[in-house]
Amino acid sequence: MIKRKLTLIMENKPGALVRVVGLFHQRGYNIESLHVDPVVDFTPYKFIENELETKFKDNEISRLTIQTLVSDSLMRQILRQLNKLIDVIAVSNEETTYLKGVLLDENLL
Amino acid sequence: MSTKLKLSGADMLMRALHDEGVDLIFGYPGGAALHIYDALFRQDKIEHILVRHEQGATHAADGYARATGKPGVVLVTSGPGATNAITGIATAFMDSIPMVVISGQVASHLIGTDAFQETDMIGISRPVVKHSYCVFDANEIPKIVKEAFHVATTGRPGPVVIDIPKDMTAPDNLFEYEYPKKVNIRSYNPPVEPDINQIERAVTELLIANRPVIYAGGGAIASNAEEELFRLNEILDAPVTNTLMGLGIYPATHHRFLGMLGMHGTYQANMAMHNADLIIAIGARFDDRITNNPSKFSPGAKIIHLDVDHSSVSKIIEANIAVFGQVKNSLSAIIKLLETKLDQYNKDKLQPWHEQIKNWKSTHGLNYELYKNESDENPILPQAVVQHVYNITEGKAYVTSDVGQHQMFAAQYYHFDEPRKWINSGSMGTMGFGLPAAMGVKFAFPNEEVLCITGEGSIQMCIQELSTCLQYNLPIKIININNEALGMVKQWQDMNYGGRHSQSTYQNSLPDFVKLAESYGHVGIKVEKNSELKPALEKAFSMKDRLVFVDVYVDPAEHVYPMLIANHSLEDMWLSKDKKT
Ligand SMILES: Cc1ncc(C[n+]2csc(CCOP(=O)(O)OP(=O)(O)O)c2C)c(N)n1
Ligand SMILES: [Mg+2]
């Protein structure tokens, strides 16, 4: 088990955060720390806007970072489970990013 | 000048459901849903079925969805109405069934005050829904309905809850109504078309395999992939097994069909999976009732896994080749490529493999002709009951089931040649599912034979729906395989707990099911002897316009076999009470 950092970009909608936290509990993953902020500067996420053919507006999306203790084998499963949540736009760990089902092989968040 | 229609939230909800193509909903009224129920009363496009318990509503909608492929729709009130619906929502979630559940909620200014019949429906349902919406602005009702149906029916299907505070449906607040033509949820984009590189890799493996097995599950049914699967195997000529959820996706009477696999799968299906050199998993997820001990699972097989859900692939068993997309589309892509390489494929090389399977089948396969050796000296065999039902209905009926030994006997001995005809709670294993699910199927297909193979334990969990069946005149046939016990529990106690039957029998407290059926206005028939069985079933099925409850007393000592030996491989099975592989 090693401590890993995950980053999520998600819709800032009621209930979105609790779905993420709930998923950790439900699937038996643990959370060491959690931090969430509204995204104000969209420049790092231009590639998402391009990929999803959308334009982010103020207060529409949040950035969430979670530290978790997991084994390597569980890491991919956690990413895929998070990516499946409807309000989650993208999720990454140190090596990979899932952008709505598309696997990109570096951390872009 | 545009003269847009102005409607209340409740009327918009009805309009939106109609515009979405809904013509049937199952529900139960109560305070927080009364504005909606009034709107329902004032329209004539959507029929509402009044069940007798909200669990019944969810299972009925679920049965309707499984049989038709269309989403089932449920309407319940807040508090107890909502919590009563949870078991059925969870059942649909675990089996990936499309469903939209609308729950009333206390008025928004009361939320959080512990108001009368307030419960956090969004919170309590969260782990068992694909997604959920709470309406905070009545203007959004059409958009939310549109999104809810889109999410419920696309990708890996599942239930979606829409929780509506009472003030959002108030009759005097009017809004301009327009139903969205398109949905765009930017953060939701389930895969449809497969990656062609993965298709090429899959085809390469298919061409060289010597001991392939096709393993297809509920996802193949959800994707309506029966024609593609059939075509694929016209080319490959491989043995095919189906999961409990997948029965019917490949014709059970086809000579390449191995039967169901897993916990109570056939000997030849489990042996073939264990000894395969290539497993093609199609909309199946290597659940623990399939793999037994994952570390001992099919040691020599490469795995090609076709699924729409990324998180189902390599979750339990690592896939060598993962093909993401609608499995129907993925299969089409595989077929298309295979058809260009037919000269590289020779079916005949599978002959030794087919011989081996034939051998397994003839040594320990199921006996499908138990009904031929009946005599009144012996108790009725539950397996033979299913065989008679199969013969009488010519294998064409919609069969729902509950949970327990009777469910496994139904799955083993009723041969399903078409998908969506076998309707059971596979993953949740929800006792009480069978009868309301049969109602949902009968509403969808009033002219088809619909029967429920149940047990005296399970049927009592939603027995109140017999009243709904009378109100709507649903001539379902209920075959109660009565072993006077929670048979499956008792079987485990026999096998693992020294025969200590802790709380699995009822000490002569069962109701008289014949009188019970009659008091609900239906026909009841009791069967206690082998010689009565066939005539009683024939009589029941000849009563086309009546619900008939056939209460068949069977041998209480029977066990379901084969049965996987826990924590071992798929080769390790109990074949009878005293024989294992
Ligand atoms: C709601 C619910 N409670 C408990 C169980 C556990 N359980 C599984 S099978 C079974 C016995 C079912 O008895 P019956 O319906 O008579 O079927 P039989 O096994 O006797 O054929 C029980 C209690 C369950 N699956 N569902
Ligand atoms: Mg029983």
Whether the predicted interface score ipTM is above 0.90? yes
Report the alpha-carbon distance of residue B288 to residue B262 in Å, rounded: 9
The H or E element that residue B531 is part of is helix B530-542
Active site residue B539: no
Residue A19 touches chain B, beta carbons under 8 Å: yes
CB atoms within 10 A of CB B568: 14
Contact map slice: A 23-62 vs B, CB within 8 A: 26, 52-54
Residues of chain A contacting residue B152, judged by C-beta atoms under 8 Å apart: none
Tokens 């049937």 belong to B24
pLDDT tens track for A11-52? 999 899 999 999 999 888 889 999 999 999 999 999 999 999
Residue contacts between A and B (CB atoms, under 8 Å): 50
pLDDT, position B444: 98
In SS3 terms, B318-373 reads as CCCEEEECCHHHHHHHHHHHHHCCHHHCCHHHHHHHHHHHHHHHHHHCCCCCHHHH
Q: Measuring CA to CA, which residue among B468, B466, B435 is closest to residue B452?
A: B435
pLDDT, position B234: 98
Active site residue B355: no
**Of all atoms in ligand 1, which is nearest to the CA of residue B407?**
21
- Atom 4 of ligand 1: nearest residue by CA position: B431
pTM of the model: 0.97
B187 vs A76: CB contact, 8 Å cut-off? no
Active site residue B493: no
Q: Using a 6 Å cutoff on CB, does residue B560 contact ligand 1?
A: no
CB B92 within 8 A of CB B440: no
Length of chain A: 109
CB B75 within 8 A of CB B102: yes
Q: Using a 6 Å cutoff on CB, does residue B405 contact ligand 1?
A: yes
Bridging pattern class, strands B278-282 and B212-216: parallel
B134 vs A11: CB contact, 8 Å cut-off? no
Q: Which residues of B touch A (CB under 8 A)?
A: 122-123, 126-127, 130-132, 134, 136, 151, 185-191, 309-311, 314-315, 324
Strands of the B573-576 sheet, one edge to the other: B563-564, B573-576, B579-580
**Of all atoms in ligand 1, which is nearest to the CA of residue B456?**
16
Q: Measuring CA to CA, which residue among B571, B573, B532 is closest to residue B551?
A: B532
Q: DSSP for B232-293, please give it.
A: HHHHH---EEE-TTTTTSS-TTSTTEEEE-STT--HHHHHHHHH-SEEEEES----HHHHSS
Residue B67 φ then ψ, to 5°? -75, -35
CB B87 within 8 A of CB B467: no
Report the alpha-carbon distance of residue B83 to residue B55 in Å, rounded: 9
Q: How far apart are the CA of A69 and the nearest CA of chain B, in angstroms?
A: 18
Nearest residue on chain B to A10, alpha-carbon basis: B187
CB atoms within 10 A of CB B565: 16
Q: Measuring CA to CA, which residue among B305, B325, B308, B328 is closest to residue B316?
A: B305
A77 vs B190: CB contact, 8 Å cut-off? no
Nearest residue on chain B to A88, alpha-carbon basis: B187
Helix crossing, B382-392 with B405-413: angle to 10°?
40
Nearest residue on chain A to B188, alpha-carbon basis: A86
Q: Which residues, in sequence order, are bridge partners of residue B99?
A: B72, B159
B127 vs A19: CB contact, 8 Å cut-off? no
Handedness of CA B146, B61, A15, B307 (dihedral sign): negative
pLDDT, position B296: 97
Q: Which residues, in sequence order, are bridge partners of residue B322?
A: B305
Ranges of residues in chain B with a pLDDT under 70 are 1-2
Q: Measuring CA to CA, which residue among B28, B89, B5 is closest to residue B36?
A: B28
Of B12, B14, B26, B54, catalytic: B54
**Residue B370 tokens, joined:** 């138990």
Report the alpha-carbon distance of residue B264 to residue B37 in Å, rounded: 45
B186 vs A52: CB contact, 8 Å cut-off? yes
Residue A71 touches chain B, beta carbons under 8 Å: no
Nearest residue on chain A to B134, alpha-carbon basis: A14
pLDDT, position B2: 59
* % chain A with pLDDT above 90: 67
CA of B480 to the centre of ligand 2 (A): 9
Return the half-sphere exposure (C-beta side, CA atoms, 13 A cut-off) of residue B317: 27
- Atom 13 of ligand 1: nearest residue by CA position: B486
Active site residue B477: no
B126 vs A88: CB contact, 8 Å cut-off? no
Residues near B324 by beta carbon (within 8 Å), at least 6 away in sequence: A101, B191, B194, B195, B198, B307, B308, B310, B313, B330
Handedness of CA B101, B106, B110, B116 (dihedral sign): negative
- Atom 20 of ligand 1: nearest residue by CA position: B487
Which ligand number lies closest to the CA of residue B463? 1
